[in-house]
Amino acid sequence: MNLAAEQISTRLSGITDPQGILRKGLALIEGPVALASSFSIEDIVLIDMLQQCERQVRIFAIDTGRLNEETLEIAETIRLRYGIEIDWYFPQQTAVEQLEREKGLFSFRESLENRHQCCHIRKVEPLQRALKGLAGWITGQRREQATTRGGLQPIEVDQVNGGIIKLNPLVYWSAEQTEDYLKQQRLPCNRLHQSGYLSIGCAPCSRAVQPGEDARAGRWWWENPEHKECGLHKR
């Protein structure tokens, strides 16, 4: 089993740059580690940073069945650019069929309960399968992204997923710092970002962000800010 999160946090004390958090965190996690990628700017930055690490890290993604074409395009661009293998996970066919048969195609807009059900079927359950056997996983979460992420730490124990270690290397970075890295390294990104989509999930649940809104305002825009998580990062 990994060192206790408190021990790892102590060893990461004072390290704020993503590369430092990534290298030190990976060195302390005993066992297989994977990066969960939605091919956001953050995830692309992390994929690039991982190329500079000696530790082998698997990359996986979840195809909910309702992703934008642009998301699939950038996923393929990244796969070819780095010559990497991406493990894709899909929702259980019977669960999706039953949901749409019983509640229709847009039940997630009718209530928070329905939206959580859809997210669980399309995202959370596939994530649980993707994390099986891992000692740790890496995410592109940043504190600045939303009110729900204000207390995010560089490294955490993911009690929801069996107590494995969760590494958040970009936790302290701003959107500007993340985009600066992307530009400096001349990395590609999802074409929707150029149209104001700062957080991209399923197509029916994502829209462009308006001036003055936070990065997650375009996700489930009909809900209150404190509810805008899909369950992948339940704390």
Active-site hit among 119, 189, 202, 230: 230
Instruction: Determine, yes or no, domain membership for 95.
Output: no
Instruction: Determine, yes or no, domain membership for 221.
Output: no
Residue 11, pLDDT > 80, answer: no
- Report CA-CA distances (Å) from 11 to 14, 20, 29, 62, 151: 9, 11, 12, 32, 19
Q: What is the CATH number of the domain that holds 182?
A: 3.40.50.620
Tally of domains within the chain = 1
Tokens of 158: 């993911």
User: What pTM was computed for the model?
Assistant: 0.89
Assess contact for 22 and 138: CB atoms under 8 A.
Answer: yes
Instruction: Determine, yes or no, domain membership for 163.
Output: yes
Confirm whether 230 is a catalytic residue.
yes
Assess contact for 153 and 167: CB atoms under 8 A.
Answer: no
For residue range 20-65, what is the model confidence (pLDDT) as tens digits? 999 988 988 889 999 999 999 999 999 999 998 888 899 999 999 9
Residue 7, pLDDT > 50, answer: yes
Q: Which domain holds residue 173?
A: 5-90+127-194
pLDDT band at residue 1 using 50, 70 and 90 as cut-offs: very low
Q: Residue 226: how many CB atoms within 10 A of its CB? A: 9
Instruction: Determine, yes or no, domain membership for 115.
Output: no
Instruction: Determine, yes or no, domain membership for 121.
Output: no
CA distance 126 to 14: 35
For residue range 140-183, what is the model confidence (pLDDT) as tens digits? 999 887 676 777 888 888 988 999 999 999 999 999 999 999 99
Going by C-alpha positions, the residue among 107, 131, 102 that lies closest to residue 118 is 107
Query: CA dihedral in degrees (200, 113, 167, 18; nearest 10)?
Result: 30
pLDDT band at residue 215 using 50, 70 and 90 as cut-offs: confident
224, exposed or middle or buried, with CB in 10 Å at 0-12, 13-18, 19+? exposed
